[in-house]
C-alpha cells in the first residue's frame, strides 16, 4: 500500500486555497500538512477541503500569524498539540493514523512550523532569533519527539533551517544569514539526532546535489537565479526510513500565480 504525505508552507490558506486545490487534484496525497495557515480554526476553509476529498482535519490556528494544519483523506485516530517556549503560537500539531486509514501498523505524524528568526543572527540583539534557538533546543529535549524503537513516525514541516552545505545556493555567502548560520544548523542537527530521526530527503538525494524548497519573493527572477534554500523537511523514524519510495519537490508551484515562496514536498511510503 502506498501512503503519501505532503508538507507545504502555504503562507495563508485562505488566500491560496485555489492553489492548494490545484495541487491536491493533481497529486492526491493521503495527508497534507500545511504551515503558516494564518487562519483561526473557526475560519478555516474546511468545506472546500471536504469537497476535495479531505474530510478529516486537525487544526491549530490563530488570526494573521503562524498556524499549522493536517488534512487527511483518511480518519485520524488521535490529535494533539504541543507548545514550545511558553507560547501558544500554533507551531505544532500531531496526529496518528491507524486501522481506519488502512494501515496495519499505526503511523504518528508531527507537523511543525519553526520560528523564522528575523534578520539579525544574534540572540542578544534579536529576540526573534533567540526564540528560534530556544525552540530548537526544546525540540531536542522533547520526549514526545523521540519515537520508541520500532515505532513508525514521520516529522515534517517548515523547520526554517537549511542545515547542510548544499541546502543553500551558496554556503559561503549564507553563513551569516538566518536559516544557515552554524548555530542554527547545529541545533537542528542535534534535534534530529536526539530523536533518532532520519533525513529521508537527503537519504534519497545525497550531497553534493543541491536541494531547495524555498525561493525568496525578493528575487526578481527566482527561476533564473535559482538562489534557493531547503527549509522544508521530511524526517522519519528508522522503522519507516527504508519504506520511502519517492520524494517529490513540486518546484513548478513556485511559478503559479500569487504563489507561496515555499513549494510542496511529497514523500511516498510503501506501507
Q: Is the dihedral of CA 12, 16, 21, 22 positive or negative?
A: negative
Distance of CA 8 to the CA centre of its chain: 6
pLDDT at 47 over 90: yes
Q: Hey, is 236 helix, strand or coil? A: strand
- Summarised one tens digit per residue, pLDDT across range 70-114 is 999 999 999 999 999 999 999 999 999 999 999 999 999 999 999
User: How does DSSP assign 2-36, residue by residue?
Assistant: EEEEEEEE-S-TTTTHHHHHHHHHHH--SEEEEE-
Pairing verdict, β 78-80 and 265-270:
unpaired
How confident is the model at residue 75, as a pLDDT? 98
- Summarised one tens digit per residue, pLDDT across range 230-239 is 999 999 999 9
Cβ atoms within 10 Å, residue 139: 24
Q: What is the CATH number of the domain that holds 196?
A: 3.60.10.10
Tell me the mean pLDDT in the region 12-19.
Answer: 98
d(CA 155, CA 199): 10
Backbone angles phi, psi at 8, to 5 degrees: -155, 120
Question: Domain of 122?
Answer: 2-270
Is residue 114 within 8 A of residue 157, CB to CB? The reply is yes
Is residue 9 within 8 A of residue 2, CB to CB? The reply is no
Is residue 98 within 8 A of residue 106, CB to CB? The reply is yes
Backbone angles phi, psi at 250, to 5 degrees: -85, 70
Residue 126 burial by CB count (10 A; 0-12/13-18/19+): exposed, middle or buried? Answer: middle
Q: Hey, is 271 helix, strand or coil? A: coil
Tell me the mean pLDDT in the region 168-178.
Answer: 98
Q: From 178, 247, 253, 201, select the one nearest 222 (Cα to Cα).
A: 253
Q: Which pLDDT band holds residue 171 (cuts at 50, 70, 90)?
A: very high
Q: Is the dihedral of CA 128, 134, 139, 140 positive or negative?
A: positive
Domain total for the chain?
A: 1
Pairing verdict, β 107-113 and 153-158:
parallel
Q: Which pLDDT band holds residue 220 (cuts at 50, 70, 90)?
A: confident
Amino acid at each position: 500500500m502506498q501512503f503519501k504525505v505532503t508538507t507545504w508552507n502555504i503562507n495563508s490558506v485562505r488566500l491560496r486555497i485555489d492553489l492548494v486545490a490545484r495541487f491536491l487534484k493533481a497529486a492526491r496525497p493521503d495527508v497534507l500538512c500545511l504551515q503558516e495557515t494564518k487562519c483561526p480554526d473557526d475560519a478555516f476553509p474546511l468545506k472546500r477541503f471536504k469537497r476535495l476529498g479531505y474530510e478529516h482535519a486537525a487544526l491549530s490556528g490563530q488570526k494573521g500569524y503562524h498556524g499549522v494544519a493536517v488534512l487527511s483523506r483518511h480518519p485520524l485516530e488521535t490529535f494533539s498539540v504541543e507548545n514550545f517556549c511558553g507560547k501558544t503560537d500554533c507551531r505544532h500539531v500531531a496526529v496518528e493514523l491507524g486501522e481506519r486509514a488502512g494501515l496495519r501498523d499505526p503511523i504518528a505524524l508531527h507537523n511543525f512550523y519553526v520560528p523564522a528568526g528575523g534578520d539579525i543572527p544574534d540572540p542578544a540583539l534579536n529576540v526573534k532569533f533567540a526564540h528560534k534557538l530556544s525552540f530548537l533546543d526544546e525540540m531536542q529535549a522533547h520526549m514526545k519527539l523521540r519515537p520508541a524503537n520500532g515505532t513508525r513516525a514521520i516529522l515534517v514541516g517548515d523547520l526554517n533551517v537549511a542545515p547542510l552545505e548544499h541546502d543553500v545556493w551558496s554556503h559561503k555567502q549564507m553563513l551569516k544569514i538566518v536559516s544557515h548560520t552554524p548555530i542554527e544548523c547545529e541545533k537542528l542537527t542535534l534535534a534530529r539526532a536526539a530523536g533518532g530521526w532520519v533525513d529521508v530527503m537527503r537519504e534519497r538525494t545525497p550531497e553534493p546535489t543541491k536541494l531547495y524548497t524555498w525561493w525568496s519573493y525578493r528575487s526578481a527572477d527566482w527561476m533564473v537565479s535559482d538562489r534557493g534554500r531547503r527549509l522544508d523537511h521530511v524526517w522519519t523514524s528508522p522503522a519507516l526510513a527504508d519504506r520511502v519510495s519517492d520524494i517529490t519537490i513540486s518546484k513548478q508551484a513556485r511559478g503559479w500565480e500569487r504563489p507561496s515562496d515555499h513549494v510542496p514536498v511529497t514523500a511516498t511510503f510503501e506501507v
